[in-house]
Amino acid sequence: MTDRESELAENLARVEERLSSACAAAGRGRDEVTLIVVTKTYPASDVRLLADLGVRHVAENRDQDAAPKAEACADLPLTWHFVGQLQTNKVRSVAGYAHLVQSVDRPKLVTALSAAAAHAGRELGCLVQIALDAESGGRGARGGAAPEQLAELAALVAGSPGLRIDGLMTVAPLAGPYAGREQAAFERLVELSSRLRADHPAATMVSAGMSADLEQAVAAGATHVRVGTAVLGARPRLG
Ligand SMILES: *Cc1c(COP(=O)(O)O)cnc(C)c1O
């Protein structure tokens, strides 16, 4: 093992331990929570090492970084999640490698994703990103739709060729009534998820929790956690 590989293996083991304890504490099976490793700003060589170590889900937030990385790793058995704010002019590229887009937050993006999926001949899983700091009708500081917009967005995704509605995603808000209350924020997301599932029973994914708050996400009922720094180390630059 190289130094980097043992570093990643140790970090992964530590995250795995945190996830197992959090699941046990919540009375949940470890298999109810999927780890997605956020590889943004880190090179394709790290993605390759992670795949060797058993990681099967990776996430990226910028198309410029993600597209060449995904291409360099096309031979690996990985599911690629796109989790960043997404401009419609990047959608065609993203639809070429992403299996899921977790940051669906406006009708225009749904329309563009549907056209791009059709063009690529692929089906894209979509999560509606909920901003718990968004005023009604507005969007969150880090992207995301207000909870009031969920039903309409989900219906639009479900009715769009090439797209599948798979669930919900959120990032714990830094402002508003949920600031500093990660678990309450994630519980709110889970509540919205049960409403979503009433209309779309297959939309079971609840993506919440990052390096700092994965325990709170597991306690609240998240099905997917997105962990970057705890696996790869502190990022060299903002991303
Ligand atoms: C970067 C990022 C993460 C991972 O954050 P860490 O704190 O590094 O674990 C999760 N979700 C999204 C949307 C991100 O952009």
Q: Where are the beta strands (DSSP E) in the chain?
A: 34-38, 57-60, 79-82, 100-104, 124-130, 163-170, 205-207, 224-227
User: Coil, strand or helix: which one is 142?
Assistant: coil
C-alpha to C-alpha distance for 112 and 154, rounded to whole angstroms:
15
Architecture of domain 3-231: Alpha-Beta Barrel (3.20)
- What's the confidence (pLDDT) of residue 140? 76
pLDDT at 147: 96
Cα 77-52-5 angle, rounded to 5 deg: 145
Helices 44-52 and 63-72: crossing angle, nearest 10°?
50
At 237 the pLDDT is: 62
The series of mean pLDDT values per 10 residues for the chain, 239 residues long, is: 95 98 98 98 98 98 98 98 97 98 98 97 98 79 92 98 98 92 97 98 98 98 98 79
- How long is the chain? 239
C-beta of residue 231 within 8 angstroms of C-beta of residue 37: yes
Which mutation among 15, 80, 226 tests ligand 1's pocket best, with the greatest number of atoms within 8 A of CB?
A: 226
Question: How many Å lie between the centroid of ligand 1 and the Cα of residue 203?
Answer: 22
> What pTM was estimated for this model as a whole?
0.97
| Burial (Cβ within 10 Å: 0-12, 13-18, ≥19) of residue 175 | exposed
- Which phi and psi angles does 52 have, rounded to 5°? -60, -35
Whether residue 210 has its Cβ less than 6 Å from ligand 1? yes
